[in-house]
């Protein structure tokens, strides 16, 4: 396996989850169902969380094609989420991410051969744009759906 395959597999899950969340969103709109709207919101939020650029999350698998150093952006995001939510699950993700982040700090991406990361620049840019586009869409939909939730409850 190479980094391009990892990125492809990594983005497939959030894309499938986003499609399911969008289906729930439109079904909620059509049926006026607060339950389906809540499911859509949960789907958007879970997939957005999964895009945090930290390995072992899918965001880490996707951003590795750009550079494993991007994982350092995920550290403050995870810390901020923990400060706001105090969730033990965030600590578990942080513990699992530590070896990967430390490997990039030491200069080597997870001890993998250098050819693992050899992909054309166009491929790196494409996956970067897919990642940013999906994250932006999920962020907007999470926000918009969150605004609709109180109105749906009556």
Q: State pTM to two decimals.
A: 0.87
User: Rounded to the nearest 10 degrees, how much is the dihedral formed by the CA atoms of 86, 98, 46, 60?
Assistant: 150
> Mean of the pLDDT values across residues 69-78?
86
To which residue do tokens 């993700």 refer? 93
Give the C-alpha separation, 149 to 5, whole Å. 37
**pLDDT: which is higher, 26 or 106:** 26
To which residue do tokens 């006026």 refer? 32
Q: Assess whether the previous peptide bond of 56 is cis (omega < 30° from 0).
A: yes
> Mean of the pLDDT values across residues 28-52?
96
pLDDT at residue 1, rounded to an integer = 81
Would you list the domain boundaries of the chain? 3-153
DSSP string computed for 30-92: HHT-HHHHHHHHHHHHHHHHHTSS-TTSHHHHHHTTT-GGGGGGHHHHHHHHHHHH--HHHHH
Q: Helix-strand-coil percent breakdown of the chain, rounded to 5? A: 80, 0, 20
pLDDT at residue 111, rounded to an integer = 62
Q: Residue 151 — pLDDT band, cuts 50, 70, 90?
A: confident
pLDDT at residue 153, rounded to an integer = 66
């Amino acid at each position: 396996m190479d980094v391009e395959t990892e990125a492809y597999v990594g983005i497939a899950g959030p894309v499938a989850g986003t499609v399911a969340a969008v289906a729930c969103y439109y079904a909620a709109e059509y049926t006026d169902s607060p339950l389906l709207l809540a499911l859509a919101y949960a789907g958007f939020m879970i997939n957005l969380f999964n895009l945090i650029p930290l390995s072992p999350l899918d965001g880490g698998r996707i951003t590795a094609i750009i550079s494993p150093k991007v994982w350092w952006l995920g550290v403050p995001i995870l810390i901020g989420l923990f400060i706001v939510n105090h969730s033990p699950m965030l600590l578990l993700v942080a513990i699992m991410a530590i070896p990967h982040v430390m490997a990039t700090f030491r200069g080597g991406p997870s001890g993998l051969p250098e050819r693992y990361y050899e992909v054309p620049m166009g491929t790196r840019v494409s996956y970067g744009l897919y990642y940013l586009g999906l994250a932006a869409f999920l962020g907007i939909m999470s926000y918009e759906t969150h605004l609709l939730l109180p109105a749906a409850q009556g």
